[in-house]
Amino acid sequence: MLSRWTRSARSVVCTTSVLRPKLRSFSHTAPRPTSPALGSALEQLQSLFQPTSPWVTRLEHAKLAVTAPHPHRVAFVGPPDLTHRLVDVILQEPLDETVMRAIADRPRTPSTRIVFGADVPTAQDTWPSSSSHTLSLPLGWLRGMEVLEWTDLQRDTETYTALLACDAVYFVLDTGALERQEASAAQVLRLAELLSDKPDAMLLVNVDVAQAYGQTAAATWDLAVQTAIQHLPPHLLHRLQETHGMNDVRTPLPGVKFVSTRLAAQARSILPTDGFHEFTRQFQASRFAALHLMLTRHIPPALRAWYVAKTALESVTDAEQMETERLATADGFASVLQTHAKNDMQRVSQRIAPPADGSVHPKPTWQRSGDQSTSLRGLLADSRDAVQETLARSFPWWRLPWRADELRLSLSYVIGRSFGASEETRLAYEAGRLRDVARRQTDYTQEALDQMRQRDTRVAHREALADQTRLDAETLRNALHAFEDRQMGALLHAYCLSEPLVHRRQQLLAPGGPLDRMAMRAQKLVARTMLGLGATYSVCGLGAVAHSSPAVVTVPTTTLGTAIATSSWVPAWTWSSWLSIVEMAPSTAGATALLATALGAWYLQGQWSRLKRAFWRDWDRTAEAAEREQQQNAHDILQALVFGAPLQVSTQLHEQVQTRRLQQASRLSELNRLREKIQALPKPT
């Protein structure tokens, strides 16, 4: 038995040339010079990503792959137990106890690097995983290679970066896990779909084969192929076929390789008892010998760099497409918000300030034809009619002399009761309704921003320049807090809509205002008229008295009077001489008094009409200003407060979209030039 084992051992030494035919030995020599255009394209691609983007690191590693020596990297990705068993089979050397012991005792970490001897990777080649472990084995075929065992199946940035840094990637699956649709198999398939277009990325399916040869073994392999076709995603198989092609007619599924760890374990177990021939037979039946050839075949370093450049370009292109969709969505939401707000604002504005011209704006059926009392202009016209009626009834010109003092009080009452008083009450009610409208507009704007955020599919881990902050930034949402109900309560008070109307009414009634000026001038007019008539009546009366009374000689009765009368420097005068100046016949005096009365009436009537015309000019200017200011005030309140939330958000969104579209136009120009440059590069072979 011992001699048999010795003969088998001697023969196993020669099995390396059979099971692992003359493998290329990868060395750390300088790579073959590559096109400078590829390195330049990798450098330019870095400028299209943010400095913190993982793509900057990936592109830097790709650039080092074509400019500096690097080992040939092969990764095995799959569930921990299955991946560890498969890698152990690949690494095993049954006659080397040191290797077998190292394999058996090695720690099972989520990521393990396996290198030749004591080779230490350079700083730029260090794996990013904090839980990685490096295993050095004295295997000749590992010289110039690195084997990565990766069992962390999370589709995260670290995993993707590590796998992109590999020249070949094998995704490990099991037919039983595929049939049972286990979660680990689904995770492996998601990672495989992510890298299915990468050159030398393949699926490695483990098959539980009990016998090395025979009809049962063939049926088991065929069943495994059918299981893969049935359970592997069709689009994944299609992409693998596009990547690997149909060069080998013996391969039923391009990009999918089938091996059996069970047969490999059986081969190792029967080596001491059944010898080399049976060991070789079993090991070749497990199909691991063909896998060794694939692991060690030469892959040009530029191929991985070319794929990273191509993938980075696709990532940037996808980011720009998403940015275009994001901007179009934001622009659409902004337009909808603006249109919705303007339509509602027009409807509310017509309710607050009804149009005055019924021929231009159709009126509701309950409003009488030609009735303008619901508009501010109609209400002010009604107030004007009320003041005119009061002046015509209570203050005609002939009543003015004894009612001038009542003018201010009477008109103040009429103006205060009619100048927009009912409109003020209505506007106070409308102001209360505006608070509810403002609250609904704010809620509608908030819902629109939430919907826009749900449609934003920005990829955070990509961090391209196009992956900018959301358009509905928190600053924009914080601005909406200014339009909340508790903030609007102090601004949308009961008299916010009627302030211009109240101000103009106070202006009419204020001291020095139109009414005050008319009342003061009316009093002065009455005083002047009465004074003129009184003087005229007095003169006419004296003239009539002088005409009907005899001349009376005035004789001094005192010493002083005698002295004055006889003085040479005092002119001689008598009452008769003075009265003779105004002396007139009674008929003449009566006619003169009547003429003076007529003139006084004419003057009073003319001046009173002039005062009223001046008052109505002031009234019309005040009423026009009240109507104009009322409309402007309502428009400002609706635009700035009630509909401020959607209008402000839509305006800011439009501004952000315009700014970012200008930035995108510059990036797209650079991207198109870079795309043409990369597409012109030949695929390394």
Does the pTM surpass 0.85? The reply is no
Checking phi first, is residue 208 left (phi over 0); if not, alpha (psi -120 to 50) or beta?
beta
Long-range contacts of 246-252 (CB under 8 A, 24+ apart): 252/225
**Six-digit token string for 596:** 């003076």
| Structure confidence at residue 558 (pLDDT) | 64
8 Å CB contact between 86 and 78: yes
CA dist., res. 95 & res. 139, Å (int): 12
CA dist., res. 269 & res. 381, Å (int): 112
Q: Which residue has the tokens 């009912």?
A: 422
Spatial neighbors of 572 by CB under 8 A, at least 6 apart, are: 565
| Structure confidence at residue 566 (pLDDT) | 60
Tens-digit pLDDT profile for residues 49-70: 988 889 999 999 888 888 877 7
CA dist., res. 341 & res. 647, Å (int): 7
The class of domain 2-20+53-299 in CATH terms is alpha beta
| Structure confidence at residue 31 (pLDDT) | 45
| Structure confidence at residue 26 (pLDDT) | 46
Length of the chain: 685
| Structure confidence at residue 257 (pLDDT) | 92
8 Å CB contact between 519 and 407: yes
Domain boundaries defined on the chain = 2-20+53-299, 331-360+376-670
What secondary structure does DSSP assign to 323-387, as a single string?
HHHHHHHHHHHHHHHHHHHHHHHHHHHHHHS--S-TTTSPPPTTSPTT--TTSHHHHHHHHHHHH
Q: How many CB atoms lie within 10 A of CB 530?
A: 13
| Structure confidence at residue 549 (pLDDT) | 66
150 DSSP β-pair partners: 77, 111
| Structure confidence at residue 127 (pLDDT) | 42
CB-side neighbour CA atoms (13 Å) of 319: 26
**Six-digit token string for 606:** 């003319």
* SS3 sequence of 106-144: CCCCCEEEEEECCCCCCHHHCCCCCCEEEEEECCHHHCC
| Structure confidence at residue 389 (pLDDT) | 93
CA dist., res. 582 & res. 615, Å (int): 41
Residues of the chain with pLDDT under 70: 1-35, 118-132, 246-251, 355-374, 457-461, 473, 485-487, 489-490, 549-580
